[in-house]
């Protein structure tokens, strides 16, 4: 990729993530606004958060290494990301079995909308990481880091702040 | 055919945007005429109330999302690369994706008619009316899904324009030298990136409620219908400027060329655009004065709303000062630009009136609002776009529009537009509520409404004449040449219509009027600047 093309792709991705940031800010704000009583396991949330944070380290390694090493670290990143999604699914199933659903109350409404749409973006990220050509890896990494940082914000608000 | 469907060239995509906007403009216009026919006399029952609700909802949604935004995007996508001396958009394939998302969003919206239930809750679709319990049909689901697609398309094209303006300018063209249409398009695009996600968040809440039985907007389960109003208008007020700032840019290109003077106060026009963008995020609650929000809250929003009149007034002053003492040529493009100044000022003044809370309390949800919004969006945006079509058509097609037909359509449109909407101020003051399907035979109601309906018919005639002019000139118009208006910006340096590669060699830019410099090597603009 020439410098100009990379500059354009980076700026385009930055603008896209800015729009995503506004979108998620408002969904988080809706969660905060309702302050619905939660019944969450901080332990499960922390494990999931750790998985995602670990994927940020492997993502960084993937952008540093050349070809073969890079592919390996990329696979590790995808594995961590997939583990995060599985953890999220287990967490959601636990809640649903306890009767916490989208339609059961405001906690379910705000929690599932916020974490569900975040999970969709992580899933899209996994697909992106799986198919991205080496030249576009840094741009995908940008996307990946953004949704990790976003998850930290969601974790702090949903798991830590609302459980206080 | 497939060359158009798969087009990634910015000129083709730009024209696709324009044609799609024209198609939906005719559809939205037909919906408006159905409403005007129904309102022509008291106690008429031409259509049912249900159909009437669908008409005003589809009219508003169409004109905002499928006409105003795409036509401005279309001009942006077509003109910005030419004006900054680039051969293409920075992200060509994103341009194609954005257009088709936008277009099929419109198709999806109109498909709701085929299901027998078009959306009917108004273009801002307030909760709780939009909740499943009160609007059980599928119409609002189509509405929300279509707008989500359109949101994606709009953000995509905005990102593309931002990246293009940031990275593809010709050598020497700093941000102090770009044409004002490029400036206003940049600011509107940044606003899209910040504002449209608020619409997306509102739509996600609405769809969660309707399809997954969530309770965001459902007060019976502790939800908050007011949240919709806040989120929608956090998008909705910046949206007004998103569809008017590029129109300001068009006017800032056209008035100088036909006054034979450079724009007066270029830095003020550019910075006041940025000021409007910032202020527009702090005024959303002025759409909600009728909600009990608290006195201090109202005062802040009223003051901020009035403040917007300052940078807007600066622009009007700049345009008038540009014309002052100029050698004005009243081409059809210039006629529309001058009419824009007058009509938009009327809309701006009624807007300032609305910013005063007691005035708003008296007039909200009356025809005064309908008059105001149409003076801003038709008198403002549409008049500017009509001016721009007459100005840039020779570049797009290589042929001039017919001036005689142009004048006829201009006067019919001005006459029809003012007849339709000026009397609606009075109807609002008399207390006629908007969005009612018929009305009793109160003093003046019948007369003023009939006057408005006749005006709308004249307006339609003017628009059809304008369309006929385009169709005829496309085939029989006089050859325009590269630079028919003796203009100064770079798009006129390219052939008409431009080839796939806009510029055989990328021009170097040293002033705001690169073409003037080329035509007047003895007295280029940059000499005085140094």
Listed by number, the residues of chain A in 69-128 with a beta carbon closer than 8 Å to a beta carbon of chain B are 102-103, 105-106, 108-110, 112-113, 117
Cis peptide before B497 (omega within 30 of 0): yes
Residues in chain B within 8 Å Cβ distance of A143 = none
Nearest CB to B163; choose among A8, A103, A110: A8
In DSSP terms, B399 is beta-bridged to B479
Residues in chain A within 8 Å Cβ distance of B90 = 8, 12
- Is the pLDDT at A2 greater than 70, yes or no? yes
Q: Which structure tokens are listed for B515?
A: 């073409």
Could you tell me if the ipTM is greater than 0.90? yes
Q: Which structure tokens are listed for B79?
A: 């003109």
- Is the pLDDT at B530 greater than 50, yes or no? no
**pLDDT value at residue B528:** 66
Listed by number, the residues of chain B in 230-269 with a beta carbon closer than 8 Å to a beta carbon of chain A are 231, 234
B90 Cβ under 8 Å from any chain A Cβ: yes
Q: What is the pLDDT of residues B259-278, one digit of tens each?
A: 999 999 999 999 999 999 99
B226 Cβ under 8 Å from any chain A Cβ: no
- Is the pLDDT at B376 greater than 60, yes or no? yes
As a whole number of angstroms, the distance between CA B417 and CA B420 comes to 5
Q: What is the pLDDT of residues B420-439, one digit of tens each?
A: 999 999 999 999 999 999 99
Q: What is the pLDDT of residues B196-240, one digit of tens each?
A: 999 999 999 999 999 999 999 999 999 999 999 999 999 999 999
CB contact under 8 A, A109 and B223: yes
Count how many domains chain A has: 1
pLDDT confidence tier of residue B292, bands split at 50, 70 and 90: confident
CB atoms within 10 A of CB A69: 12
As a whole number of angstroms, the distance between CA B407 and CA B390 comes to 11
What residues make up the domain containing A118? 3-161
pTM of the entire predicted model: 0.96
Please state which of the ranges B96-105, B353-362, B364-373 shows the lowest mean pLDDT.
B353-362
CA distance A72 to chain B (A): 30
CB contact under 8 A, A11 and B224: no
For chains A and B, CB pairs below 8 A equal 87
Q: Which structure tokens are listed for A137?
A: 């890896």
CB contact under 8 A, A26 and B213: no
Residues in chain B within 8 Å Cβ distance of A108 = 214
The residue of chain B with its CA nearest to that of A106 is: B215
**pLDDT value at residue A39:** 76
- Percent of chain B with pLDDT strictly greater than 90: 92
Report the CATH number that the domain containing residue A141 is assigned in CATH: 1.20.120.80
Structure-derived torsion over alpha carbons of residues A44, A46, A50, A51, reported in degrees to the nearest 10: 20
Give helix B403-430 / helix B332-355 axis angle, nearest 10°.
Answer: 10
- Taken as a whole, chain A contains a residue count of 164
**pLDDT value at residue B529:** 55
CA distance B209 to chain A (A): 8
Average pLDDT, integer, range A132-154: 95
- Is the pLDDT at B320 greater than 80, yes or no? yes
Residues in chain B within 8 Å Cβ distance of A22 = 193-194, 197-198
CB contact under 8 A, A102 and B198: no
Residues in chain B within 8 Å Cβ distance of A100 = none
CA distance A82 to chain B (A): 25
Q: What are phi and psi of B479, to 5 degrees?
A: -60, 135
Please name each of the domains of chain B with its CATH number.
2-529 (1.20.210.10)
The residue of chain A with its CA nearest to that of B199 is: A23
SS3 state of residue B138: coil
As a whole number of angstroms, the distance between CA A28 and CA A44 comes to 20
As a whole number of angstroms, the distance between CA B10 and CA A38 comes to 50
CB contact under 8 A, B201 and A12: no
A10 Cβ under 8 Å from any chain B Cβ: no
CB contact under 8 A, A11 and B167: yes
A16 Cβ under 8 Å from any chain B Cβ: yes
Average pLDDT, integer, range B27-44: 97
- Separate counts of helices (H) and strands (E) for chain B: 20, 0
User: What's the gap between Cα B169 and its chain centre?
Assistant: 25
Report which secondary-structure segment, H or E, holds B413. Answer: helix B403-430
Nearest CB to A26; choose among B158, B198, B215: B198
Nearest CB to A18; choose among B166, B193, B216: B193
């Amino acid at each position: 990729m020439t410098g100009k093309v990379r500059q354009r792709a980076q700026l385009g991705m930055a603008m896209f993530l800015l729009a995503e940031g506004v979108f998620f800010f408002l969904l988080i704000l809706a969660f905060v606004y309702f302050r619905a009583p939660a019944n969450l396991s901080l332990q499960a949330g922390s494990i999931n958060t750790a998985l995602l944070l670990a994927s940020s380290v492997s993502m960084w390694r993937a952008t540093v290494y050349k070809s073969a090493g890079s592919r390996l670290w990329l696979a590790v990143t995808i594995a961590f990301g997939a583990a995060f999604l599985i953890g999220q699914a287990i967490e959601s199933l636990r809640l649903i079995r306890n009767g916490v659903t989208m339609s059961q109350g405001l906690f379910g409404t705000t929690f599932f909308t916020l974490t569900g749409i975040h999970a969709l973006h992580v899933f899209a990220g996994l697909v992106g990481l799986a198919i991205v050509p080496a030249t576009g890896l840094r741009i995908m990494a940008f996307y990946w880091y953004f949704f990790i940082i976003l998850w930290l914000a969601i974790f702090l608000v949903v798991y830590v702040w609302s459980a206080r | 055919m497939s060359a158009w469907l798969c087009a990634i060239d910015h000129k083709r995509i730009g024209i696709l945007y324009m044609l799609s906007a024209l198609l939906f403009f005719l559809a939205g216009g037909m919906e408006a005429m159905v409403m005007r026919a129904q309102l022509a006399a008291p106690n008429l029952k031409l259509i049912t109330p249900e159909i009437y609700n669908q008409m005003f909802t589809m009219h508003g949604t169409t004109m905002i999302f499928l006409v105003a935004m795409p036509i401005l995007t279309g001009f942006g996508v077509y003109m910005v690369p030419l004006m900054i001396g680039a051969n293409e958009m920075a992200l060509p394939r994103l341009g194609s994706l954005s257009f088709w998302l936008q277009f099929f969003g419109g198709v999806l919206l109109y498909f709701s008619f085929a299901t027998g239930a078009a959306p009917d809750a108004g273009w801002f679709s307030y909760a709780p009316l939009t909740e499943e319990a009160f609007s059980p049909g599928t119409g609002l689901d189509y509405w929300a899904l279509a707008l989500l697609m359109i949101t994606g398309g709009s953000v995509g094209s905005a990102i593309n324009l931002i990246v293009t303006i940031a990275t593809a300018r010709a050598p020497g063209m700093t941000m102090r030298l770009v044409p004002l249409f490029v400036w206003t398009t940049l600011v509107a695009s940044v606003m899209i990136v910040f504002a449209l996600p608020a619409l997306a968040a509102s739509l996600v809440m609405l769809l969660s409620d309707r399809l997954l039985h969530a309770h965001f907007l459902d007060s019976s389960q502790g939800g908050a219908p007011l949240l919709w109003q806040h989120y929608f208008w956090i998008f909705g007020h910046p949206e007004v400027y998103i569809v008017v700032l590029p129109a300001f840019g068009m006017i800032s290109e056209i008035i100088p060329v036909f006054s034979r003077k450079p724009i007066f106060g270029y830095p003020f026009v550019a910075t006041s655009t940025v000021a409007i963008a910032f202020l527009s995020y702090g005024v959303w609650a002025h759409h909600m004065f009728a909600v009990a929000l608290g006195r201090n809250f109202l005062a802040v929003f009223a003051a901020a709303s009035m403040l917007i009149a300052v940078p807007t007034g600066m622009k009007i002053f700049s345009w008038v000062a540009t014309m002052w003492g100029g050698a004005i040529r009243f081409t059809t493009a210039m006629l529309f630009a001058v009419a824009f100044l007058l009509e938009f000022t009327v809309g701006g003044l009624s807007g300032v009136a609305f910013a005063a809370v007691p005035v708003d309390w008296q007039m909200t949800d009356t025809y005064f609002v309908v008059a105001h919004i149409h003076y801003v969006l038709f008198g403002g945006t549409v008049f500017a776009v009509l001016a721009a079509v007459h100005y840039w058509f020779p570049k797009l097609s290589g042929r001039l529009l017919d001036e005689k037909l142009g004048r006829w359509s201009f006067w019919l449109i001005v006459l029809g537009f003012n007849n339709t909407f000026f009397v609606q101020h009075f109807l609002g003051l008399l207390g006629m509520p908007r969005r009612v399907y018929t009305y009793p035979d109160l003093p003046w109601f019948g007369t003023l409404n009939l006057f408005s309906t006749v005006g709308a018919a004249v307006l339609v005639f003017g628009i059809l004449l304008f369309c006929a002019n385009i169709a005829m000139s496309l085939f029989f118009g006089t050859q325009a040449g590269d630079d028919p208006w003796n203009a100064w910006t770079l798009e006129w340096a390219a052939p008409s219509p431009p080839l796939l590669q806009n510029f055989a060699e990328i021009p170097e830019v040293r002033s705001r009027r690169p073409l003037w410099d080329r035509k007047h090597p003895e007295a280029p603009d940059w000499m005085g600047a140094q």
